[in-house]
């Protein structure tokens, strides 16, 4: 009798779990966002350089390679106009960020995850190769240094916007790159040897 009751409870639990998963998928589809990371492996991504990219406990993890080697991880697909959300945390000291519209190391944008000294700026800053910082987050209180943060990037035409934990940190116009890959960076150097960037979720919605 107990086994029958247990079996019935297990069936109900499985049905409930499946229903929750289905509902989550429906909610995501209704919102128009598509996951870029499947939580299992690096399908849809490709790496450059010698940084180490792994999947641990369903999360994407980036660290330096041997001898403080840097590297980047990029989507195989390219995106132009979009909204993107990413939930991340890091181990400091750290210099990383979310690449977007990446075509080359000279033609791209990055929503920075860093603590920069000169000029002083924090995570949520918007960087462009050759132009340095297009917008700087000068408020360190926005950043959760020890826990999870949510970054949102919106790129529509030449209008680029970044939010960190619900606060807007960039709102500029620039036409350096119209489309390209999404990615993450691991910076070189012994200074950033302990760094680790951990991505729990990243989703994109075309505009």
Distance CA 164, CA 115 (A): 14
Task: Report pLDDT for 30.
Answer: 54
Task: Report pLDDT for 31.
Answer: 87
Domain 33-206 fold is Jelly Rolls (2.60.120)
CB-neighbour burial class of residue 29 (10 A; exposed 0-12, middle 13-18, buried 19+): exposed
User: How would you write the pLDDT of the chain (207 residues) with one tens digit per residue?
Assistant: 544 443 444 344 434 444 544 554 455 555 899 999 999 999 999 999 999 999 999 999 999 999 999 999 999 999 999 999 999 999 999 999 999 999 999 999 999 999 999 999 999 999 999 999 999 999 999 999 999 999 999 999 999 999 999 999 999 999 999 999 999 999 999 999 999 999 999 999 999
Q: For the chain, what are the domain ranges?
A: 1-31, 33-206
Name the helix (H) or strand (E) containing 36: none
Task: Report pLDDT for 23.
Answer: 53
Task: Report pLDDT for 27.
Answer: 54
Radius of gyration of the chain measured on its C-alpha atoms: 19
pTM for the full predicted model: 0.85
């Amino acid at each position: 009798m107990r086994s029958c009751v247990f079996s019935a409870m297990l069936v109900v639990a499985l049905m409930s779990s499946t229903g929750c998963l289905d509902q989550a998928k429906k909610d995501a589809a209704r919102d128009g966002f598509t996951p870029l990371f499947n939580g299992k492996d690096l399908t849809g991504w490709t790496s450059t350089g010698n940084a180490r990219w792994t999947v641990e406990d369903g999360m994407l993890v980036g660290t330096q390679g041997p001898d403080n080697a840097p590297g980047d991880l990029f989507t195989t697909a390219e995106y132009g106009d979009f909204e993107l959300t990413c939930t991340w945390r890091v181990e400091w000291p750290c210099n990383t960020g979310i690449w977007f519209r990446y075509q080359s190391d000279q033609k791209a944008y990055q929503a920075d995850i860093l603590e920069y000294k000169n000029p002083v700026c924090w995570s949520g800053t918007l960087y462009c190769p050759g132009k340095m910082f297009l917008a700087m987050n000068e408020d360190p209180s926005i950043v959760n240094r020890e826990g999870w943060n949510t970054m949102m990037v919106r790129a529509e035409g030449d209008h680029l916007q970044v939010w960190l934990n619900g606060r807007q940190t960039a709102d500029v116009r620039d036409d350096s790159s119209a489309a390209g890959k999404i990615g993450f960076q691991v910076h070189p150097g012994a200074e950033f040897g302990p760094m680790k960037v951990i991505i729990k979720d990243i989703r994109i919605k075309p505009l």
